[in-house]
Amino acid sequence: MVIRFAVMSFRQKGRALVADPMQSAKTADAAIALAERVFLSRDGAISFSQEIDVETDCYDEPKVLSKHGTLPPELLD
């Protein structure tokens, strides 16, 4: 089992939010810090962790670590 830490950022383009390429981090704290930094130049950012079973290629549901700014509605829960 491997834990992935990642950040997704979003920018407003007209009425739509456009996702930037996902960025990886080495730890939960690093992912949160990266989301905070990215948010300074984007409209929204979210950091999360996700457990991955590399043997079976199964992905657990992502766990939100931090949310910043404007996010797509499906990420607001």
- Per the structure, the complete domain to which residue 28 belongs is given by 2-71
Q: Is 76 part of a structural domain of the chain?
A: no
CA dist., res. 11 & res. 44, Å (int): 7
CB distance 17 to 29 below 8 Å: no
Which residues, in sequence order, are bridge partners of residue 24?
A: 6
Q: Is 77 part of a structural domain of the chain?
A: no
Tally of structural domains, the chain: 1
pLDDT tens over the chain, length 77 residues: 899 999 999 999 998 999 999 999 999 999 999 999 999 999 999 999 999 988 898 999 999 999 999 999 887 76
Residue 33: count other Cβ atoms within 10 Å of its Cβ: 15
Q: Could you tell me the pTM of the whole model?
A: 0.89
